[in-house]
Chain A
Amino acid sequence: MRTRNPLSLAKTGGLLLLVAVGITMLYPLLWMVGTAVKTNDPEALLREGAGAGVFPDDRNILRNLFPPVWHWENFPEVFRVSPFARYYFNSAVIALVVTAGQLATSSLAAYAFGRLIFRGREKIFFLYLATLMIPASVTLIPLFIMMSWAGLVDSYFVLLVPPMFSAYGTFMLRQFFKGIPDELEEAACIDGCNALMRFVHVVLPLSGPALATLGIFTFLGNWQSFLYPLVMVSSDRLKTIPLGLLDFVDQNSANWPLLMAASIWSILPVIGIFLFGQRFFVSGTRLGGVKG
């Protein structure tokens, strides 16, 4: 029955559960922050005591989460020790360009599949759908070979162009475009106008949330993409952040404080984008095939 007391037992229990889950979710991230401000320098460790190291011997994890002295200098150190600024630049360029390109090509194609009539429309779209299920591993090897024939391995081309074409974006946007009533387009084109004008002036303005959501997911996906750049790129000047983090990892050991500091650097833009794009998320989720 409806409860009048807003903090009923069930609700308090639920709240406690949420807090517990929240702590579990956040604990590794807290550990990450704590490690990022620790130091590996043996002199400093001697001064600060037993709990200041990354892996203190005693088993009390909670006590040693944060060191007694916070070494903020690890954050700029990341940029000094490795060409991290370059990795940042590469990741940003790739994520932005691929997202823009994907939005452009997918929206154009989705409009064609969703609102224009032409012969073979359903067949070609089915082909797109079928390739959605093909794992990335299938195309990775031939793509590598093709690019090496073209002499384009280890270049910006291979990092920017192939990821721009995704059937997923076309699929999602087609669903959305199909949902726009015909009357709107017809009303806007009383005197008759061509498809491009209808697309640009009618459909695109209405698709803001959908495009934004797709854009955010694409950006995030490309920011964190690991296997594809790992295979395609060898030189330092083209590496992205996920690959660049491996700079801090050796055969079996890792420079933990710098690695965690670098990880935090790489997370900041992602959090920023998420916070910025939050309002699109909930409204944009309606296009996610919820109705199938």
Chain B
Amino acid sequence: MRNKPLTPWLFLAPSVLGFAAFTLFPIVFSLALAFCAWDLFRPPRWVGWDNFQQLLGFTVREAPSIPPGLGVILLAVCLVLAAGVILRLRGGVRLGLAVGIAAVAIFVLLQFLEPVNERFWYYTGNTFYLLLGLPLSMACSLGLAVLLNQTIPGRNLFRLAFFLPSIVGGVGIYLLWKWIFNTDYGLINSVISLVHPAGGPAWLESRAWAKNALIIMNIWATAGGANMVLYLAALQNVDPQLHEAACLDGAGKWHQFLAITWPMVSPTTAFILIMGIIGGFQGGFDAAYVMTRGGPAGATTTLSYFIYENGFRYFYMGRAAAASWILFVMVLGLSLLNWKWMSSRITY
């Protein structure tokens, strides 16, 4: 449709101006800040790659755990194998072997190098670990949607009950869950001690279980929420005749699910997955701030909490900006991977 050349820009003006001022410019500024050291009181100082080096860098170990000669030999073997794989093999085997060779090479390298800031890698690991809650939560959402899709009495009531946890957020809920996870008196350990006399794990006091507690809380909060509603909408698009036909052919319920339901909701799954990854990487802040303050010995510190702590508690603005860019690169990488992987698997 034709329009005067000026018109689109007038439509875009508010959005683009705000976008430029509050998104683009801060992003560029943040990139510049990542190469400086600044505590807001003294003038900023250019430090180049220092911030990144302090977060992601590696230094040579003083005492490698395997002899250097052996290490060199192993690395050479890896290189040769890699060359052979790239040049000769094809298909899925190639990918698997490449990953295996890369893993061995990294392992060997790590015997000689150690991270400058191993806690940063630990926090990165925390962030990834907490993402595990996403597929679990999606599975629960899908399951609930399938259950709710049938005609049962009080369906709307159930839907409301399931949706409530996702809209009630805030400090009160976090402290409530902190109490539920109490080692001695909390609800969960009380229930566990009914069947298992030794009691449950020391949830938020234990480094090993703190993140699991957060994942459980996250599933409670998101299983019945927007994702379930999206799945319900997608399920209602599925033609019941497909199910009937499959039934006539003798397919069991589970087989019907795999063959009919799952592919039909795959676009929704892809959408939820991507949004969940983007959101999940930034998440974990509220819970960490209110419930655990970073957890027993940093166990619940995610990258976003780390960034807040370094930027707004210790006023290491440069380091926090560098960490946020590392986070961004991770989000970007994982989203691209996810998109490539899912686009081959979505059926329309």
Mark A residues whose CB is within 8 Å of B.
Answer: 1-2, 6, 10-11, 14-15, 17-18, 21-22, 24-29, 31-32, 35, 55, 59, 61, 104-106, 108-109, 111-113, 115-118, 121, 124, 127-128, 131-146, 148, 161-162, 164-165, 167, 170, 182, 185-186, 194-196, 198-199, 217, 220, 224, 226-227, 230-231, 241-242, 245-246, 248-249, 254, 256, 259-260, 262-264, 266-267, 270-271, 274-275, 281-282, 285-286, 288-292
Question: 20 additional contacts, CB 8 Å, given A31-B180, A59-B190, A198-B1?
Answer: A11-B150, A21-B224, A22-B162, A32-B176, A55-B179, A106-B15, A117-B3, A133-B335, A138-B327, A138-B328, A139-B23, A142-B29, A142-B33, A162-B18, A186-B1, A226-B289, A227-B285, A271-B164, A271-B167, A290-B267
Known: A161-B22, A165-B19, A231-B312. A18 touches B173 (CB 8 A): no
Closest 6 CB pairs of A and B: A263-B172, A165-B18, A109-B15, A142-B29, A142-B26, A245-B171
Q: Of B171, B172, B303, which is in contact with the most chain A CB atoms at under 10 Å from its CB?
A: B172
Within 8 A of A (CB), among B267-303: 267-268, 270-271, 278, 281-282, 285-286, 289-290, 303
Contact status A196-B7, CB under 8 Å: yes
Contact status B30-A274, CB under 8 Å: no
Contact status A28-B177, CB under 8 Å: yes
The digit string for B144-183, where 1 denotes a CB below 8 A from any CB of A, is 1001101110000010111111011111110111011000
B120 within 8 A of partner (CB): no
B144 to chain A, nearest CB (A): 7
B254 to chain A, nearest CB (A): 12
B174 to chain A, nearest CB (A): 10
Determine the chain B residues whose CB is within 8 A of the CB of A109 once the complex forms. 11-12, 14-16
Inter-chain CA distance A115–B25, complex, in Å, is 27
Contact status B324-A138, CB under 8 Å: yes
Inter-chain CA distance A26–B317, complex, in Å, is 42
Determine the chain A residues whose CB is within 8 A of the CB of B79 once the complex forms. none
Inter-chain CA distance A17–B286, complex, in Å, is 31
Q: Which listed residue (A113, A199, A263) contacts B171, Cβ 8 A?
A: A263
B221 to chain A, nearest CB (A): 9
Inter-chain CA distance A289–B348, complex, in Å, is 12
B214 within 8 A of partner (CB): no
B76 within 8 A of partner (CB): no
Known: A246-B171, A291-B348. A282 touches B229 (CB 8 A): yes
Contact status A170-B15, CB under 8 Å: yes
Contact status B247-A108, CB under 8 Å: no
Contact status A18-B147, CB under 8 Å: yes
Determine the chain B residues whose CB is within 8 A of the CB of A271 once the complex forms. 164, 167-168
Q: Which listed residue (A26, A115, A131) contacts B164, Cβ 8 A?
A: A26
Mark B residues whose CB is within 8 Å of A.
Answer: 1-5, 7-12, 14-16, 18-19, 21-27, 29-30, 33, 40, 144, 147-148, 150-152, 158, 160-165, 167-173, 175-177, 179-180, 185, 187, 190, 193, 220, 223-224, 226, 229-230, 232-234, 244, 247-248, 253, 267-268, 270-271, 278, 281-282, 285-286, 289-290, 303-304, 307-308, 311-312, 317, 320-321, 323-325, 327-328, 331-332, 335, 346, 348
Determine the chain A residues whose CB is within 8 A of the CB of B169 once the complex forms. 224, 242
Determine the chain A residues whose CB is within 8 A of the CB of B161 once the complex forms. 22, 25-26
Determine the chain B residues whose CB is within 8 A of the CB of A230 once the complex forms. 289
Contact status A25-B230, CB under 8 Å: no
A240 to chain B, nearest CB (A): 11
Contact status B30-A139, CB under 8 Å: yes
Inter-chain CA distance A148–B327, complex, in Å, is 25
Inter-chain CA distance A292–B332, complex, in Å, is 18
Inter-chain CA distance A24–B12, complex, in Å, is 47
Contact status A134-B328, CB under 8 Å: yes
17 CB contacts below 8 A, A to B, read A18-B152, A25-B220, A32-B176, A106-B15, A109-B16, A112-B8, A124-B16, A131-B19, A135-B281, A138-B325, A139-B30, A161-B18, A194-B7, A199-B11, A242-B169, A254-B175, A291-B267
Known: A59-B185, A142-B33. A105 touches B267 (CB 8 A): no
Determine the chain A residues whose CB is within 8 A of the CB of B278 once the complex forms. 132-133, 135
Determine the chain B residues whose CB is within 8 A of the CB of A118 once the complex forms. 5, 8-9
Known: A139-B23, A290-B268. A146 touches B286 (CB 8 A): no
Known: A133-B335, A141-B317, A246-B171. A146 touches B26 (CB 8 A): yes
Known: A2-B244, A22-B158, A112-B8. A137 touches B33 (CB 8 A): no
Determine the chain B residues whose CB is within 8 A of the CB of A264 once the complex forms. 172
Q: Which listed residue (B1, B150, B167, B311) contacts A182, Cβ 8 A?
A: B1
Inter-chain CA distance A35–B328, complex, in Å, is 41
Determine the chain A residues whose CB is within 8 A of the CB of B15 once the complex forms. 105-106, 108-109, 165, 170
Contact status A165-B172, CB under 8 Å: no
